[in-house]
Structure 1
Amino acid sequence: MDKNQIVKSNQVIEASYQLSAVEQRIVLAAICRIPKSQEITDDVLYPVSVHELQLLGVHEKTAYRDLKEGINRLYDRSINLTIENKSIKMRWVQEIQFLDSQGTIGIRFSKPILPFISNLSREFTKYALSDIAGINSGYGIRIYELLVQYKSIGKRELSVESMRKMLELGTKYPLFADFKKRVIDTAVEQINEYSPLEVKYEQKKTGRKVTHICFSFKEKARKISQLNPDSSTDKFYKLTDSQINMFGNQLCQLPELSHLAVGNQSYEALASKIKEMLRDPVQQKQFIPHLKNLGFKP
């Protein structure tokens, strides 16, 4: 089995929890380290390196900082599972270690969660770690997993209520228009941009209220650039320092990019992060539509 393959119990895919994109990348990179054909114990420390996060789209200048901050937050995170009509709350991690000299952290998963992140469970979902590289929305990664569960069918209908519960939105985005814009649209845009899936969705109403989201999706056709590595249809815009400074300060104020902020990160810190991302050929792509809206002319 591919060492970069993610295997998760469907109960975990549909569980209630909220992790940032970086926290999810750390969890997924560690899951890849779990032997898929061996008995799982909670005695093993699974390493995650800065390099692995960089491969998943984290900028090299912030990768180790993001790794350390992400694992510290992850240590306090929990997940709520429903098993045989019982609601069970458990922690993701019971121990973390820092190997600063190696640019690596170590994760010891909590014992209760191990059966749900291995293929020893009867029902599980598989996908490649590279599928979510570039998706920097925590909601995007979660929704991608929910769709991959139904990959053989190509359709999935989810109630707005169940999605809010799974994403642990609580009182966040109470208006459907905000939920659609900042959760659904952001997720679908990034899934279409970076993952192997091409996704569309429709809204389903009960009376006058939108109550369900009906997703339809399929594997993307292979691009010419994938068939011929020497050709490329992706364009990177080399912005001047003044352009990066100006647009970085504007982009950090956009509500639809608020998911890039870490914790209570200030606008100044977020602007600095976005400016670095604008210099990166891979990460710059997500900002192009916003740049054009702000007046950028390629």
Structure 2
Amino acid sequence: MSEVDVEERKKQIQEISTRKVAEHNDLISSVAKMDKTPLKIFELAVSYIDTDNPPKDNTIYLSKKEVFTFFDVSDNDKHRRFKEAVEKMQEQAFFKIKEKKNKGFKFKRIVPIPYVEWNDYNDKVTIRFDQAIMPYLIDLKNNFTQYAISDIMELNSKYSIILYKWFCMSYNQFEHYQYKTNRTKKQLEAYKSPTIVVSELRELTDTVDDYSRFDNFEKRVIKDAIKEINSFTHFNVEYTKIKKGRSIYSIQFHIVKKENWGNPNYKADDNKAKLTEEQKQAQLQVKYAIAVANPYTMMLINSSLLYAMDIANQETIVNLSEHVYPVYDKMVSELGQEALETHLEYVKRKMVDYTDSKKNIVKYLNVAATQYISSRLSMKQMKKGG
């Protein structure tokens, strides 16, 4: 890439970084029946809309150069790929919108961009939005969310984009109401730590028929998306799995906003946000609360493997959550809940006074659980072989 191209790209990135996307919450909560690329094209197009001066004939004009910058495409095949992405968007992409009405719900299916025009002799791309989608993009007096298109730019998963928008919808309400008197402390906390039932999360991410095993769903849809969001947007997010019976019923997300994100002087280390001490403490509190609420913590207390001094030690409880509880998850998945209960009873008998002989409780429980799983799986394999 020549120096001229590099400077042009810098200008385009700067231009993109100044624009915002505003969408009605009903659209953010809808099901986007489309892949990552059509969804990002739609988001980029929406960033061109001035809600104070809606586009004439619902038509906006993009720059092909900016589109290629947005998708970080610079190879000779970029025009063909752009054409394929547009065709796919028009042939397959639509929103399933569910609006709550007095008597129930109203359902809509909207193809957002039915008309796209470009040529091979200038830089202009003409995009016309469908009339049915416009109220969700310009009639934004109430119940709408605004976010930076530059945050969307770096996200490479459809699930990352969907969850990021949903987080913005919730956290923006916290920012809107935090200094007002018409919301309780509990309501404000719910905006910062929104909860969603797993079945609703599957519907939102269009994965009702995908990733039937929860561990696959968690990795592909939740963990991978949050890793991207934490790296490339102004949020740091943790989450808690909430059980009903033996199944994961809902997910509670805990959102912390990064300080000075978007500032030209902001510097990140390998795309990981540097948090202030206050934010680090806030995030530690979130992790601690998640760990304390984990059912394994209560099991360890009931087994007399954790005492009051352990519960009061935030570092210990957080480290248990990060280094021991995943091993317990594996144990339950591979061997069943009874195996974990048997294992904890065994550890209780062996570890009479860990405060003197087993000072590193996290390491001790991790090693004990790992060895137990290995031993039990080996025995199962030998029985099969026999």
The TM-score normalised by the length of structure 1 is 0.70
Q: Which residue of 2 aligns with 1:111?
A: 131
The amino acid across from 1:126 in the alignment is Q
State the identity %. Answer: 23
**What do residues 86-105 of structure 1 show as CA deviations (whole Å, max 9, x unaligned)?**
11112112211122323443
Matches within 5 A, 1:16-95: 16-39=31-54, 43-61=57-75, 63-76=78-91, 77-83=93-99, 84=101, 85-95=105-115
Structure 1 counterpart of 2:49, one-letter code: I
Aligned 8 A contact 2:70 2:153 in 1 = yes
1:13 aligns with: 28
Higher relative contact order structure (alpha carbons within 8 Å, sequence separation ≥ 6): 1
Quick one: structure 1 residues 70 and 216, their matched pair in 2 at CA, closer, same or farther if it must change by over 3 Å?
Answer: same
Asked if 1:209 corresponds to 2:247, the answer is yes
Alignment of 1:260-271 (within 5 A): none
Q: CA deviation at 1:222?
A: 4.2
Of the three residues 165, 168, 179, the one matched with 2:206 is 168
1:82 aligned partner, one-letter code: K
C-alpha distance in structure 2 between counterparts of 1:37 and 1:233, whole Å: 38
**C-alpha contact 1:3 1:33 (8 A) present in aligned 2:** no
Report the 3-state secondary structure (helix = DSSP H, G, I; strand = E; otherwise coil) of the residue aligned with 1:7.
strand
Quick one: which of 158, 166, 175 aligns to 1:146?
166
Give SS of 2:207's match: coil
Over residues 107-165 of structure 1, what are the superposed CA-to-partner deviations in whole Å (9 max), with x where a residue is unaligned? 21111110002243521100111112211101100000000011123221111111111
**Corresponding residue to 2:146 among 109, 121, 126:** 126
CA distance in structure 2 between the partners assigned to 1:64 and 1:234 by the alignment: 31
Structure 2 vs 1, CA of residues 14 and 58 (structure 1 numbering), >3 Å: closer, same or farther?
Answer: same
Q: CA deviation at 1:186?
A: 1.0
> More displaced, 210-219 or 76-85?
76-85
Whichever residue aligns with residue 74 of structure 1, its letter is M
**Quick check: 1:50–1:63 contact (8 Å CA) kept in 2?**
no
Q: When the two structures are superposed, what TM-score results if normalisation uses the length of structure 2?
A: 0.55
Larger Rg: 2
**After superposition, where does 1:273-284 map in structure 2 within 5 Å?**
none
Q: How many residues align?
A: 230
Contact 1:198–1:220 (CA under 8 A) maintained in structure 2: yes
Give, in whole Å, the separation in 1 of the partners of 2:112 and 2:23: 13
In the aligned structure 1, how far is the partner of 2:140 from the partner of 2:55?
9
Q: Distance in 2 between matches of 1:105 and 1:226?
A: 29
Contact 2:260–2:266 under 8 Å retained in 1: no
Say whether the 8 Å CA contact 1:8–1:119 is kept in structure 2.
no
Q: Distance in 1 between matches of 2:55 and 2:126?
A: 16
When the two chains are superposed, the root-mean-square deviation of aligned CA atoms in Å is 2.4
1:158 matches 2:196: yes
d(CA) in 1 for partners of 2:41, 2:124: 11
**Mapped partners of 1:17, 1:57: distance in 2:** 19
Matching of residue 99 in structure 1 with residue 113 in structure 2: no
Q: What stretches of structure 1 move > 4 A for 4+ residues in a row?
A: none
Alignment of 1:222-233 (within 5 A): 222=260, 227=265, 233=269
Whether 2:232 is the aligned partner of 1:194: answer yes
Structure 2 alignment gaps of length 5 or more: 1-16, 175-190, 272-386
The Cα of 1:51 is off from its aligned counterpart by 2.9
